[in-house]
A and B are shown apart, each in its own frame.
Chain A
């Protein structure tokens, strides 16, 4: 079960629909690595609204995706973490250090647009 990655301008978006297997998450990371390069994406939005739990493995994978993105010049934003999931993560001690977060898809893209305007090399 793979996750489709959509392109909107120079932003790549993936909506994780349900509990993914570890293999799916790894494939997602590789898929991102490939597409970020190919499409010269400057932003990545990963929507985890449908996930009812983010455990240490999922967190590590998201960090992995963000790292790969950063290496290729793209900013990653994770969106859609639900209140209970955020609470549970913090209680467990999981952190998404170095990854931006936003409320939802709309906010995530708005964030990328805001930061894009400020970054050098941005051409209107």
Chain B
């Protein structure tokens, strides 16, 4: 059952990476793998299969020397699978059949390495070690002329490079996926809309605003306006990294969209240098209500909504807990 799920994962990744039969042929072309190579590999097949366990062991022994491989070696479940798949790999390496099924198995092994967080360099080092072992044996037991043996080994190397291409692509694809997920999480965390008072929302914006994030912020704000029946929004941009014409445009669009829903947006936190750079960029911020600082903006919004804030005597009363 677990195997079935794993297979589906590798198939899904293959599809995502665009590895169809056309792409596989292309990869073979790139390493120069031909029928002649397949024929040569057949001549050393039995030799390799005889010592298959030793070669697999060599791979993992090499990994054991490096800290970078520790995550894999210290994970019994993953290590077990990796060892099993490695034996399978070596069988496949000399099989002469390097099509979809073979590629799928490579991807599956790649996913195990990715799951274990195996470092690319450690993988390459271990793989090289394994190939060197095979090469040494091939040369030592050369029944035919050494040149034939050498050529058989070189043919095997082509498949090895084919394999490396696949494994590394899987490791990279998985890493990129993690990065995307992290970015997504950061984005979600960083667009909060707070209700300050009845009908009054506060939207502090921090960081870099790209088109994607600007859209998230706008959608979030508009939804909040609807849910809270807000009439006023104080949008503070003190924490916005750079304000160029594109960002200014995003801000203007957000303000206009909010206005269409009956909410007035007051932008606070435009510092003097930012104001000057916007002017020099020729950006029209006319029609945008701005107040220098956040407090001023909130007070203005409160007054517009009819709130009067009075300060009386301070009261020292406990909230929860012990005073």
Contacts and interface: CB of A to CB of B under 8 A. Distances in A.
A86 B221 CA distance: 11
Contacts of B283: none
Interface string A71-99: 00000000101110111011100011000
Q: Which of B222, B253, B260 has the most CB of A within 10 A?
A: B260
Contact of B263 (A87, A89, A103): A103
Chain B interface residue number, banded: 10 to 19
A83 B223 contact: yes
Contacts of B188: none
Q: Please classify the interface of chain A as helix (H, G, I), strand (E, B), loop, or mixed, using the class held by over half of its residues.
A: helix
A55 interface: no
Q: Which of A89, A90, A107 has the most CB of B within 10 A?
A: A90
Interface string B221-249: 01101100101000000000000000000
Chain A interface residue number, banded: 10 to 19
Q: Which of B215, B218, B253, B256 has the most CB of A within 10 A?
A: B256
A68 B259 CA distance: 22
A102 interface: yes
B200 to A, nearest CB: 14
A81 B260 contact: yes
A87 B262 contact: no
Top 7 closest pairs, chain A to chain B, by CB: A83-B222, A102-B262, A86-B260, A103-B262, A90-B257, A86-B257, A81-B260
Interface of A: 79, 81-83, 85-87, 89-91, 95-96, 101-103, 107-108, 111
